Amino acid sequence: MSYMRLSNDERAEICERYELAIHRISEIVTEEDVRAPLRDYFHKVAAFLILVDNVANMIREGSYSKLTLDELKSVNRSLYEDITGENYQLSYANPTYACDKLGSKYGKLLSFLYTELRATIIYAYEQEKALHTIYLELFLQIYGLVRWEDGFTPKDVKRAIKDFMHDYCDILILQRTIESADPDYSFAKDIIMETDLNNLSYLYRYGDYISDNELRTAEFINSLSNEQIEAMASTFSSGFERGFEVNRLNLSSKTNVNIRYQIGFERIVRQAIHNFKSMGLESILYRAAYIALNKKQHLKIGFHGSSPNKQYDYDHRFDIGIFLDTAFKNKKLKARKVALEQVKHITQNYAGPAVMEVFGEELFSPEDKPEAIRLNKRQQKLMTEYYGEERLLSKEFYKLGETSFTIISYPVSEIGKDFEAIFEDTVKVNTLDNELYQKIQQTIIDVLDKAEYIRILGKDKNRTDLLVKLQPLKDPNKETNFENCVADVNIPVGEIFTSPNLKGTHGVLHVPLIYLNDLAYHDLELIFEDGCISDYSCKNYDNIDKNKSFIKENLLFNYETLPIGEFAIGTNTTAYMMGKKYDIAPKLPILIAEKTGPHFAIGDTCYPMREDLKVYNPDGKEIIARDNEISLLRKTDLKKAYFNCHTDITLPYDEINEISALLYDGTIIPVIKDTRFVLEGTQLLNDAFDK
């Protein structure tokens, strides 16, 4: 339903519907027909929609591009001020405020509605008038119910929302599928490739919230030389290319790559687009999801700006619960399959994602609001089923077994006064000597390949006490359990990892403070029996049940349990000491943090849906630990084999008492002892501690 893809007659019809809708909404701003307190809600939301329409008209007419930087900032602020800072406390987007003013039943529904309508900002900037129109019409439909129906109830409002989602599910899913699969969908690419990136006005062409992060980051990156930009982009794109080489995959058969980034890094992304083009790859750039139908909780997958309010994102992470039932889950899945059929000529040549993550934002511990929409147990099951089945569709249409990826991280200005120095040190961390680390890591692997178990013991406040069972090697001369990971797909360099045997893996994993999926966890503890989580707790809230719900929703993704999919030892002590030097260790992204100590991933193994692809280390040995007892179920019941999540939990070096290899004959060989690497040939890693 993309407006630009419609026929002239269809466009004319949409324009007429749009003008009728916006004219009617302009009247609502001053109408007194609706009883208080609902009247105030509809007045304010109508005023917001008129504001968005004004911006859409400015973009359409060309006057928006003539605004000064200060004027653009003012427009951006006006669109988002309602949900930023203290303003959010008095916003109808805040479910607590909405329920307080409108009552709990109306409050939840109308807070959801306002949040969905905020997507019209994006439709205005992308000039998606068709999608913009249907959301305006939804608002008018709800207003009509409240205004004219004397006997209307919250059930009527909820039914209208559900009917809307059912009616437009196919269109919204198709739109999302096209924009995330087709390189010709070029909204962001046009901004990056066709505007003057030295003029920071370009940031305001996206429609996203633009904070000091985007402004200061873009300004800093503009200060770098062409040589520095080319080097960073080369590290990024060549890592992607090496992923195909290491995994013996054919890159020449691929034609497109997805670049994900945070707004502000366009100069690096522009060079990366050129680099990928030279590999024969067109770049796909799609926006992080912004409506309940497409969002995955509060996570942002795709290009995006800083969040205007992380509590706002968290409050609305399960908004799909308003209309999710079995029929809708099946309809959404069918719509996804039909949409993929339309673009399979593109997706069959997909090479994978190239991801540029950021770090440095303030740690966020969310408030758990009872007024926020939650999924009931049935809906939790439906969501896990949907993601599982959708993943299988992706495997088929995107040929995931033939793809690779790369991930790299950079800081944003919110990290503090040392931003530029931290950025410079991060670049150094991202370009450490691969050959040196490969040799040191092979020394560790040679010892661990003799082991039956690995023992991990925490230190001081860390109560970790875990025994990890390794896969048995049939031919140690040709086989290995651990991948010797240098800086190819997973930048920076510095880890060895394996998929453990579940039976025999047990104990306690504990971290006093860790930041996972943009959320802080205090005193996180996971108990494992035969490699699967049997119990869990944290101390984010005073209430035990709230803590358990927090972990289940955001770490277990509503599964009853998850297995250990990976055990790894990070070797990048330079990155670890960077975190210490600037006191930013809790803010380091998983990508870097996982290299700064041992880590455990819960969820899928290291090679989901690629277990049958043989993988080799630089020494020629085949990495045989690609499956565990659960992933092997793919051979009998594919739906039970995967969880579609893989979350790394890292223990910093200074919280480690010991990591030891327990050999079959009972011999114990320490690898790390009291924070330091102790194997002969690995002590060079301790130099970073000493310096």
Yes or no: say if 235 and 103 are a contact pair by the CB < 8 Å rule. Answer: no
* Number of neighbouring beta carbons within 10 Å of residue 439: 15
Q: Which two tokens stand for residue 498?
A: 């394996």
Mean pLDDT of 157-170: 96
Residue 173 within any structural domain of the chain: no
Residue 669 within any structural domain of the chain: yes
Select from 374, 408, 442 the last residue of a domain: 408
Question: pLDDT (tens digit, 9 = 90+) per residue, 446-501?
Answer: 999 999 999 999 999 999 999 999 999 999 999 999 999 876 777 888 999 999 99
Closest CA to 372 of 531, 550, 515: 550
- Which distant-in-sequence residues (6+ apart) come within 8 Å of 364 by Cβ? 310, 311, 314, 518, 519, 520
- Tracing tokens 């040709």 back to the chain, one arrives at 478
The whole-model pTM stands at 0.91
Question: pLDDT (tens digit, 9 = 90+) per residue, 121-132?
Answer: 999 999 999 999
Mean pLDDT, the chain, rounded, equals: 93
Yes or no: say if 592 and 429 are a contact pair by the CB < 8 Å rule. Answer: yes
**Bridge partners for 498 per DSSP:** 567
For the chain, give the number of residues. Answer: 691
Residue 415 within any structural domain of the chain: no
Task: Mark whether 213 and 137 lie in a shared domain.
Answer: no
Cα dihedral value 400, 406, 604, 598, nearest 10: 160
Closest CA to 321 of 378, 389, 370: 378
Going by the DSSP 8-state scheme, the letter that residue 253 receives in this structure is G
Per-residue model confidence (pLDDT) at position 34? 85
Task: Mark whether 37 and 82 lie in a shared domain.
Answer: yes
Task: Mark whether 276 and 401 lie in a shared domain.
Answer: yes
Yes or no: say if 182 and 284 are a contact pair by the CB < 8 Å rule. Answer: yes
Q: How far apart are CA 105 and CA 196, in angstroms?
A: 49
Task: Mark whether 342 and 461 lie in a shared domain.
Answer: no
Closest CA to 548 of 562, 559, 536, 564: 536
Domain interval for residue 618: 433-690
Residue type, 265: F
Going by the DSSP 8-state scheme, the letter that residue 633 receives in this structure is G
Mean pLDDT of 10-35: 93
Distance from CA of residue 219 to its chain's centroid? 25
Mean pLDDT of 654-680: 95
Task: Mark whether 681 and 577 lie in a shared domain.
Answer: yes
Number of structural domains (the chain) is 3
Mean pLDDT of 73-85: 97
The answer to whether residue 687 scores a pLDDT higher than 80 is: yes
* Number of neighbouring beta carbons within 10 Å of residue 594: 26
Task: Mark whether 214 and 113 lie in a shared domain.
Answer: no
The answer to whether residue 254 scores a pLDDT higher than 70 is: yes
Residue 384 within any structural domain of the chain: yes
Going by the DSSP 8-state scheme, the letter that residue 97 receives in this structure is H
* Number of neighbouring beta carbons within 10 Å of residue 460: 9
Yes or no: say if 408 and 590 are a contact pair by the CB < 8 Å rule. Answer: no
- Tracing tokens 């329409």 back to the chain, one arrives at 53
Closest CA to 101 of 59, 50, 140, 44: 44
Q: How far apart are CA 101 and CA 108, in angstroms?
A: 11
For 400-459, strand residue ranges (E) read 406-411, 451-458
Yes or no: say if 498 and 606 are a contact pair by the CB < 8 Å rule. Answer: yes
Question: pLDDT (tens digit, 9 = 90+) per residue, 312-338?
Answer: 999 999 999 999 999 999 999 999 999
- Which distant-in-sequence residues (6+ apart) come within 8 Å of 609 by Cβ? 391, 395, 400, 401, 634, 642
Question: pLDDT (tens digit, 9 = 90+) per residue, 537-570?
Answer: 999 999 999 999 999 999 999 999 999 999 999 9
Task: Mark whether 124 and 252 lie in a shared domain.
Answer: no
Q: How far apart are CA 202 and CA 621, in angstroms?
A: 50
Task: Mark whether 243 and 113 lie in a shared domain.
Answer: no
pLDDT confidence bin for 100, thresholds 50/70/90: very high
pLDDT confidence bin for 152, thresholds 50/70/90: confident
Long-range contacts of 536-543 (CB under 8 A, 24+ apart): 540/365, 541/368
Select from 97, 131, 152 the last residue of a domain: 152
- Cα dihedral across residues 96, 373, 104, 117: positive or negative: positive
Q: Which two tokens stand for residue 341?
A: 């059929």
Yes or no: say if 51 and 79 are a contact pair by the CB < 8 Å rule. Answer: yes
Pairing state between β 532-537 and 564-570 = unpaired
Task: Mark whether 476 and 359 lie in a shared domain.
Answer: no
Number of H helices, E strands in the chain: 21, 19
Per-residue model confidence (pLDDT) at position 458? 96
Task: Mark whether 403 and 464 lie in a shared domain.
Answer: no
**Bridge partners for 506 per DSSP:** 467
Yes or no: say if 538 and 523 are a contact pair by the CB < 8 Å rule. Answer: yes
**Bridge partners for 496 per DSSP:** 484, 569
Select from 152, 171, 198 the last residue of a domain: 152
Task: Mark whether 81 and 229 lie in a shared domain.
Answer: no
More confident: 420 or 37: 420
Yes or no: say if 564 and 540 are a contact pair by the CB < 8 Å rule. Answer: no
Per-residue model confidence (pLDDT) at position 4? 53
Question: pLDDT (tens digit, 9 = 90+) per residue, 206-221?
Answer: 999 999 999 999 999 9
Q: How far apart are CA 622 and CA 526, in angstroms?
A: 32
Q: How far apart are CA 500 and CA 233, in angstroms?
A: 35
Residue 422 within any structural domain of the chain: no
Mean pLDDT of 349-358: 95
Yes or no: say if 376 and 325 are a contact pair by the CB < 8 Å rule. Answer: no
Task: Mark whether 262 and 390 lie in a shared domain.
Answer: yes
Residue 423 within any structural domain of the chain: no
Residue 463 within any structural domain of the chain: yes
- Which distant-in-sequence residues (6+ apart) come within 8 Å of 462 by Cβ? 510, 511, 512, 651, 655, 656
Residue 207 within any structural domain of the chain: yes
Question: pLDDT (tens digit, 9 = 90+) per residue, 492-523?
Answer: 889 999 999 999 999 999 999 998 888 889 99
